[in-house]
Chain A
Amino acid sequence: MVKDHKESSLPLLSINSLQVSVESNIILKDFSLSVSEGEVHVIMGPNGSGKSTLSHVLAGKDGYNIIDGKIDFNGEDLLSLTPEERACKGMFLGFQYPVEIPGVPSGTFLKEAVNSVRKYRGEAEYDAMQFLSLIKDVCKTMDISDQMLRRPLNVGFSGGEKKRHEILQMALLEPSLAILDETDSGLDIDALRTVANGINGLLAPNRSVILITHYQRMLEYIKPDFIHILYEGKIVLTGGMELVETLEKDGYAGLELDSAKKK
């Protein structure tokens, strides 16, 4: 399909009045968001407001009922794609709790992932030598040793190692949209800086990031374009850094979310 100029000015991701339930509880209602190429969106919100549900629905995890709404990713109907198709088309989810896979060395997993994506895109797969030289530089920036690549994926990794490893995967897979679900939680200051550098290194005019976070700390390193406050399944406020400042000072009470919701 030949793309014309009109199409390329469409947003990369557009979510329209999405309504999602888990079992019989409605988690997201009338949720809309539009992300254009190169933008960094931050989503904040109290616990249970639907942040992780959003990231899971975007990545295609089972167990969520999409009651209503539409999601377009790169002009395609996202909800009709399998999780692996979404990944191959450039969507990356940084997990809040990366999953352990015993017996599979993390290096093997990374090679498998990179080659799957390359195969899907019709590119030649890397052999072991090519892959090793590719991964070497990225590992250095993310402070990950060769020895760590031989350890089983996420098994016995510390909190910081898990999150750095997520960003390493992101850097290798070069997604067009990265959704990072609380990637900054549980990190010490050095690891936070490493992770932030990794994310900043990925930012490019044709890449976008949705950052889900609870804290201002990460935003000292990464400059967001928009900050959204998610409350009871809906974005009730959108703004800039001033929202975060109010939050840090007065908490969610200071934002008067209930009155914002009615507007």
Chain B
Amino acid sequence: MVHIGKDTKSRIISKGISAGKSNSTYRGLVRVQPKAQNSRNYTQCDSLLIGSYCGAHTVPYIESANSSAKIEHEATTSKISEDQLFYCRQRGIGEEEAVALIVNGFCREVLQELPMEFAVEAQKLVAISLEGSVG
């Protein structure tokens, strides 16, 4: 994200999901150029871990050449808990469906910004790529 002009605003929301033995890394550069007076950036990085052998890493790069810029970065890491899975299963939802449901909840903020047909596609993709990731 490069801010060139004055009063420019940007927002980055990153959602990373790690399952099995995978690691996910977010690297994002936010650069504010000298003339970008009063520019603002907000970056939010959320990571979701499925299982105990995966990891998530967040590496924000911030380069500001203008002292009036405001640049924010927030990061969270959460895990699908046994209790959440048990709650879903107690209501009759199978383990894989439960994971897909929780993961889709996690990505909802991003998916709901997509046009309808992409959102549906993305949801199904998430479900397929998580198949067999539990247990």
Chain A residues in the interface with B (C-beta under 8 A): 59-63, 82-84, 86-88, 92-93, 95, 98-104, 108-109, 112-113, 116-117, 120, 152, 169, 173
Contact = CB atoms under 8 A, between A and B. Distances in A.
Contact of B97 (A61, A95, A108, A116): A116
Contacts of A98: 87
Contact of A84 (B78, B84, B92, B104): B92
25 contacts: A59-B86, A59-B90, A61-B86, A62-B82, A83-B90, A84-B92, A84-B95, A86-B90, A87-B89, A87-B92, A88-B92, A92-B90, A95-B90, A98-B87, A99-B81, A101-B88, A101-B102, A103-B104, A103-B105, A103-B108, A109-B91, A112-B93, A113-B91, A113-B93, A173-B92
Given A95-B87, A116-B97, A101 B105 contact: yes
Contacts of B88: 101, 109, 113
B103 to A, nearest CB: 9
Contacts of B91: 87, 109, 113, 116-117, 169, 173
Contacts of A63: 82
Nearest to B106: A103
B108 to A, nearest CB: 4
A246 B56 CA distance: 56
B75 to A, nearest CB: 16
B105 A152 contact: yes
Nearest to B93: A116
B109 interface: yes
